[in-house]
Structure 1
């Protein structure tokens, strides 16, 4: 398909990424289905993970940073008795240890230690860079480098079910949290080691509870026409409902689009970042307000 056949499309797709598919492959497949000129995703999922992958089409890429920085919720299965060279089922299982008979109270006591603000050492198999080189590339060469611990927040951590050798956990966490590291640390605290054998991202804030769409379900909609397919897309401002909103006149919008700052009367409340709307209710982008002066930040080009 030539580039001329792709279209300018703006919206957010909550893609349910399948197992065994890279985030980039899922993104490109979705872009092809929608015939969108421009697309980007907001936070990779490993091929061995499934679940919510927000895909931003067109001007939605201008609000994608907020989704990268938002909280996430996962369901993961920790397999006990081994660690893994990659922290998940993709790696070689190493360091076998017996799994003790764990009482519910003992498991809960360990989980309680990981709730709230904690420090994590990022795994070697990650996209973080050392001297410009991704850590996972160094890890594949057998090279391990020192990593600084980083502060993350575990908003909730619940045991959903268990077997003699597995724990299935529900985790709500801040950006930058590595579930593989969390599972490894829990395994060490239990004294038997652990690795991630299943990982699914259930939600990305602020989209908790909203339906996701698989590539298969989207392909089924293609036969119903473009309108049916586009109907699953969310509006761009759905990514930033937490920001205060301000309705602006046509003249003010025009000046902001020209890169000018605009003084407002009456003076709106100061905000580091705001949603700007036209009088007809159209979302026009993001800006800042300070001392009664508006300035453009990320305006949309529909």
Structure 2
């Protein structure tokens, strides 16, 4: 067991291919131990059943994690038609069973189209949402059910990937806070059969949509080789902000900005948020003020000096 004093100030984003079976926090703590990292956080929970993209932010990259939490998500989900369960996935107990009507791709596509756009979605009881300070899934395990407030979510696209006699595979692009299990339940009801999730894989999150993911085995193999091999797997913190316009500052402007002062930048991009770069590289995140100046909001700290980067 490494003491807190001896943990590393490593920074970066790991695009982990989460294995099935563990919670997102369990996976995070495991990776944090391998990196011997002082600070780490994940960017949105995946169900234990789920696999796929789980960006883990270490050190200064945790300042980016909040923006990734708010980002849109992409999933590939496989559903079992004709059965509903207590958890809306394969880990729950069977609730009901019905015959599956004959379905063709055109009929399914027509139903899926009704579920795109904005919707009010009620979080499932088996979820991490809190009710009076306690997670809903803890209440559900005790057999309790409480009223949940509906949340406004957006489903940008649903595509049919495969259709079997009693199975359905879909690609879903949705906003944060969307429960794919609930979406599958609703689609199953609309198809007249009911449904639950048998496999769920996150394929994209915000700017990360096609990158090669690091598997658990690859991470453990890198850990055996040492810190250099581990750190080579990390993306820089600014990779989590791809798509934001860049503002490049000279040394003087970077110095004043790192002191908390807004600076004037000629021909600054018109955007709410920008990535800030100085002569030494990525400085942090800033906003454009109405008068044309750029103001700092979240700044990176140098590992060597403990001071804000210039």
Q: If the TM-score is normalised by the length of the shorter chain, which range does it land in?
A: over 0.9
Equivalence for 1:245: 246
Q: Is the 8 A contact 2:20 2:50 kept in 1?
A: yes
> Which structure 2 residues correspond to residues 73-112 of structure 1 after superposition, within 5 A?
73-112=74-113
TM norm structure 2: 0.91
| Residues 1-302 of structure 1 aligned to structure 2 (within 5 Å) | 1-3=1-3, 4-262=5-263, 264=264, 266=266, 268-280=268-280, 282-290=281-289, 291-302=291-302
Distance 2:265 2:170 in 1: 52
- Note the alpha carbon deviations across 1:146-189, whole angstroms, 9 max, x for none: 22332222222112112211111111111111100100000110
Which range moves more in the overlay, 125-134 or 74-83?
A: 125-134
TM (norm. structure 1) is 0.94
Aligned 8 A contact 2:105 2:163 in 1 = no
1:12/1:60 contact within 8 Å kept: yes
CA contact (8 A) 1:81 1:194 kept: yes
**In the superposition, relative to structure 1, how do residues 258 and 197 fare at CA in structure 2: closer, same or farther (>3 Å)?**
same
- The CA distance in 2 between the partners of 1:41 and 1:126, in whole Å, is 17
In 2, Cα distance between the equivalents of 1:25 and 1:266? 47
More moved, 94-103 vs 58-67: 94-103
| More deviation, 126-135/15-24 | 126-135
Task: Indicate the residue corresponding to 2:307 in structure 1.
Answer: none
Aligned residues: 300
- Give me the whole-angstrom Cα distance separating, in 2, the residues matched to 1:271 and 1:174: 21
Matches of 2:266 and 2:277, distance apart in 1 = 17
| Contact 1:269/1:292 (<8 A) preserved | no
Check conservation: 1:17, 1:214, Cα contact below 8 A.
yes
> d(CA) in 2 for partners of 1:130 and 1:222?
39
Gap regions ≥5 residues in structure 1: none
What displacement does 1:128 show?
1.6
Distance 1:119 1:193 in 2: 20
Matched residue SS, 2:67: helix
Question: How many Å apart are 1:118 and its aligned residue?
Answer: 2.7
- Distance of 2:228 and 2:253 partners within structure 1: 33
| Gap regions ≥5 residues in structure 2 | 303-310
**Superposed displacement of residue 267, structure 1:** 6.0
CA shift, 1:275, in A, is 0.9
Deviation at 1:265, TM superposition (A): 5.4
In structure 1, how many angstroms separate the alpha carbons of the residues matched to 2:265 and 2:247?
13
The CA distance in 1 between the partners of 2:136 and 2:213, in whole Å, is 31
TM-superposed deviation, 1:270: 4.8
- 1:142, 1:90 → 2: CA distance? 16
Q: Once the 2 structures are TM-superposed, how far is the Cα of residue 294 of structure 1 from its aligned partner?
A: 2.6
SS in 2 for 1:24: helix
